[in-house]
Amino acid sequence: MTTDAIKKISIIASKGSLEGIYPALILANGARAEGIEATLFFTFFGLDAILDKRLDHMKVATVGNPGMHIPTLIGALPGMSALATHMMEKKIEKLDFPGIREFIEMISDAGCDIYACKASVDMFELKKEDFCKQVSDIITVGDFFEKSAGAKIIFT
């Protein structure tokens, strides 16, 4: 291994859509599998991925998402997001990727610390009990930087 190999990463997950959350989870899990220390910090709409009641119901964004190649007005039709979500969930299953809940469990068991952002928790009026049990704590941005000492920070 070279001396500048990555040893530690801190990943910020800020998106509340299905396609927006997977990159953060894949990066965190992949890092641990490579023996890299990893921390996952969920903020704003990204919190949905660790909210016990929401994490099994994340949806694909069909509006404001040019990558979907669907005109905005069509994407806004009722049921479009549900349809796109269903298609992506099937793809995810076919690729044998874990669903959000299983993924969060895997990542936590792999030794990655999972945190929720205090500012967002306050804004959405959430409590520690609202989160899945893998969430270690609700922390401030200052705590986040402290925990990220020596880490590369990745924003998703």
Residues that bind another protein (CB under 8 A): 26, 29-30, 32-35, 96-98, 106, 109-111
CB closer to another protein, 63 vs 106: 106
Question: Smallest distance, Å, CB 110 to another protein?
Answer: 6
Helix, strand, coil percent content, the chain, rounded in steps of 5: 45, 15, 35
Number of DSSP helices (H) and strands (E) in the chain, helices first:
6, 5
Question: Smallest distance, Å, CB 132 to another protein?
Answer: 16
Burial status of residue 97 (CB atoms within 10 A of its CB: 0-12, 13-18, 19 or more):
middle
Question: Smallest distance, Å, CB 111 to another protein?
Answer: 6
- Evaluate whether 88 touches 19 at the Cβ level (below 8 Å): yes
Question: Smallest distance, Å, CB 94 to another protein?
Answer: 13
| Residue at token pair 């009722």 | 78
Cα 56 to Cα 24: distance, rounded to the nearest angstrom: 16
CB closer to another protein, 68 vs 112: 112
